[in-house]
Amino acid sequence: MSAGSTGEGHLLARNSNFRSLMISSTVGVLGNAVAAVALPVIAAVELEASNFAVATLAGMTFLPWLLFGLVIGTWVDRLPRRPVMLWALAVRIATLALLPLGFWLGFLSTPLLFGAAFTAGLASVFFQLADAAMVQQAVTPDELMEGNGLITGAGAAADAAGRSVAGWLAGAAGGSNALIVQLVASVVSLLALQRLDVKEIVQPQSRPHILREMRDGLRYTFSTAPLRAILLNAALWNLGGNIAASLLVVLVLRTLGESEVWLGLLLAAASVGGAIGGTTAHWMGKHFGSGPLWRWSMVPGVFGYASLLVLAPGWGMLWGVIGLFVMGASVAWNIVVGTSFRQRVCPPDMMGRLGAASRMVSWGMLALASLLAGVLAETIGIREAVLVGVVIACLAPLVALLGPLRGIRRLEDLVEVPAPGRLDVAENL
């Protein structure tokens, strides 16, 4: 058990290190939620960018995962994680502060917006890989489902609050001014990390070449059927789902002619669903089994995204509110189970590379989806592009229901994933 854990009571009460990580993560998600609404609103309203630019902007924060994720993951495995997280937050604060300054001083532009989104996304790669490794070291293996459920649920609630506030602020004061909330949240997150006291596991100084470590990370990520199935499920969902999500801003503000307030409510509904999904994942996993929960979680999620196809001005927007709420809960269940399994079986000195390689594939799909969404919006239309995304997203639950994990009730009972170069029973699942 970690140094901050006393062994009794609720996880938040007994483990001060987990508490610090959760505060930092939750407040950080609040700020990121504001930025997620503010950035496309800046592009669509303040800069009057094209539909292609608005859609592809969402992918700029995820593009660093595709380009540099594995290299950064290898570095994170070599370094103490807490300083990495602090520096990443500092870079993010400085980068996003340029946008309100640009708005006030008159030098805000689309290239600056794209550059800031990419740089902030690059800083997030460092932060999130280090954060995932720290959670693994701050709790015991048996606390992972509980801890990830709490972090996911609290993060989704903060995301809902951030998106609701951002929708109102963007309409009242402009997207650039709304980013001030994100900057304040990042400072609070940084202060929470100052209280973290975890004895970190870092690789010794005699390390193999970085390319060899990257190769080992990739081999480990694809080394067993459980890891491959979880990764393919996430990649297909992110590709299809983010095509639809990237077009939400132009669908609401331009096609339907609705306000930023409705945009914020739609995004908040997904986050409220995520909060409920995250906080109930531990209970549902215990009662129904983590395997069935993971396999069936994305089925209602597909119907949630499909609700965007029937959106209409006025009260017709409520279909999207309900649908995105369902989608948010579905995604949270899937994430908690998949993340907990990876953290449970992965050695600490491989965690950065496993997270990097996994997200390079799954989150890299978010960047490609945004680019594809922009192309589809300009060629076949916005609603038609959303339909394409929903159809692709349907493949994710099919992989889970028909794949190699279809008969497993408890993923945590599977044989541990082998270290690179070592064959194990799990390989034959």
Q: Write out the H or E segment, with its range, that includes residue 172.
A: helix 144-173
Mean pLDDT, rounded, of the chain: 82
Of the candidates 131, 172, 153, 238, which has an alpha carbon nearest to the alpha carbon of residue 37? 172
Percentage of the chain beyond pLDDT 70 is 90
What pLDDT sits at residue 222? 78
Spans of all domains in the chain: 11-428
Say how far apart CA 381 and CA 11 lie, in whole Å.
Answer: 48
Q: Is the pLDDT of residue 141 over 80?
A: no
pTM beyond 0.85, yes or no: no
The model's confidence at residue 296, banded by pLDDT at 50, 70 and 90, is very high
State in words which class domain 11-428 has.
mainly alpha
Q: What pLDDT, in 10s, does the model give residues 51-66?
A: 888 888 878 888 888 8
Q: What pLDDT, in 10s, does the model give residues 202-239?
A: 555 555 566 777 777 777 777 778 888 888 998 999 99
How far the first Cα of the chain sits from its last, in Å, is 31
Dig out the tokens for 363 from the structure. 């989150």
Torsion 329-29-53-233 (CA) sign = negative
Q: Is the pLDDT of residue 382 over 70?
A: yes
Q: What pLDDT, in 10s, does the model give residues 183-201?
A: 898 899 888 888 777 776 6
Q: Is the pLDDT of residue 310 over 90?
A: yes
Say how far apart CA 251 and CA 271 lie, in whole Å.
Answer: 19
